[in-house]
Amino acid sequence: MTASPINSETSRPAGWQPQIIAFCCNYCAYAAADLAGARRMQYPPNVRVIHAPCTGKIEMEHILEAFEDGIDGILVAGCLEGGCHFQEGNLRARKRTDRIRAMLDEIGVGGNRLRMVNLSAAMAPTFVERVKEIVAEVARLGPNPLKAVSGHRAPGVTSLPVTGSTVNA
């Protein structure tokens, strides 16, 4: 059963800007992000790029804990399918992100807060476009309802099941 979407419109503080993490694998995705910077391509400043050895090393708990800590959206960026430097890491990451998206929908947080993109090192424009897209989507969704407000979570939102959630499939 999918929970009703939580309306964040009513709890959107004035001046709120979505805080986004972009987990970039150390090879193609980070190179694409780096190239975007070198070319001075503009993308929203509220995106923090975090290096990962490979998207296959980004466990479910990393993503779930980031949401529990209040991040509003996450982009997982890896190599093109067939191009992962660790063979199938990006395929495992795709399965994980799909599962977490479904979980976020189910608890009413919104699966669209999490996206995955596959990039080659030359795909700086695509990286920038995907960043802009997730920022726009999360801005539309509003603040992460899991974000603690005065020590309380938003009504109707339960804690994410982080413990023992690592998936190696």
Q: Under the rule (CB under 6 A), what is the footprint of ligand FES?
A: 25, 27-28, 54-56, 78-79, 84-86, 89-90
Distance CA 34, CA 40 (A): 10
Which of residues 100 and 141 has its CB atom nearest to ligand FES in the complex?
Answer: 100
Nearest approach in angstroms of CB 87 to ligand FES is 8
Nearest approach in angstroms of CB 90 to ligand FES is 4
Which of residues 117 and 138 has its CB atom nearest to ligand FES in the complex?
Answer: 117
Chain centroid to CA 126: 16
Distance CA 169, CA 164 (A): 14
Nearest approach in angstroms of CB 92 to ligand FES is 9
What's the token pair of residue 118?
């596959």
Nearest approach in angstroms of CB 58 to ligand FES is 9
Burial of 105 (0-12, 13-18, 19+ CB in 10 A): middle
Whether the CB-CB separation of 143 and 20 falls below 8 Å is answered with: no
